[in-house]
Structure 1
Amino acid sequence: MVDENSPVFAIAVAAELAAMHPQTLRQYDRLGLVSPRRTAGKSRRYSMRDVVQLREIAALSAEGLNLEGIRRILELENQVVALSSRVHELEHALAEELLNRSGRRVFAAGAAGDVVSLRPGTRAHRANELVVWRP
């Protein structure tokens, strides 16, 4: 399956997609701004995510940032993505733990609006009377 991280573009194609010269891509690779994967023959292969990152570098550069500033911004953005992914994993693990934990507590709203603790497998008792309000 091909996704945004699949290394499919040769340097010439990636350079054209990013509207850059191939030598610029080589320089960015040396500086660590974009790190394409390598084939067995050591040629660079860029993913769609790499191309998007190259376009972002061009935009930041056009705004006047130097390459070290751009490198730091990209590093921080990558950390945010990694941390967001980790938070999602932990939230999922916590939800699974809470669902699978025996003796978990169940709560319902009482008749007066208070919180009532229920044993698992029981239902809250509800009143069935009809109340008519007349001003």
Structure 2
Amino acid sequence: MSYKDKKVISIGVVSELTGLSERQIRYYEERQLIHPDRTKGRTRMYSFSDVELLVEIANKIEDGLQTYEIRKINESQKEQKTISKEKLREEIRGQLNVRFGLMNRNESKFK
């Protein structure tokens, strides 16, 4: 896990870093745009990636987008990243197969 993804920042610090009020940050959580972790004491904890995402959200809101539109955009971007990662895995698997003469499980040596 990258240091950017570790949830170690409190909402007060996030507010200072982003210029957003704590109320705005909680609202974005209610709208499922951001997903902080919670401590045992129920304190919200954010990562540096969350801070960057909150700034992007604020910019999109400022540009006139609605929260549901932002959520759809974020979901689409996550899907694209997942698809890209899977394509990369397939390419690497194919290169290893070619390099080392490996076969898919469905292929038989005795064709």
Structure-1-length-normalised TM-score = 0.69
The aligned counterpart of 1:45 is 45
- Superposed, 1:1-135 pairs within 5 Å as 3-101=3-101
Q: State how far apart, in whole Å, the 1-side matches of 2:18 and 2:64 are.
A: 18
Unaligned runs of 5+ in 2: 103-111
What CA distance in whole angstroms lies between the structure 2 residues aligned with 1:11 and 1:71?
Answer: 21
Q: Which range moved further: 73-82 or 61-70?
A: 73-82
Q: Please report the TM-score for the alignment, with normalisation by the length of structure 2.
A: 0.83
- Alpha carbons of structure 1 residues 95 and 2: separation in structure 2 relative to 1, 3 Å: closer
Structure number, greater radius of gyration: 1
Number of residue pairs matched by the alignment: 102
C-alpha deviation, 1:75, in angstroms: 1.1
- Relative to structure 1, the CA distance from residue 79 to residue 38 in structure 2 (aligned partners, 3 Å threshold; closer, same or farther) is same
Measured against aligned partners, the alpha-carbon deviations of 1:17-75 in whole angstroms (never above 9, x if no partner) come to 11100111111111110101122222111111111110110111111111111111111
Runs of 4+ that moved beyond 3 A: none
Residue in structure 2 matched with residue 113 of structure 1 by the alignment: none
Give the drift of 1:5.
0.8
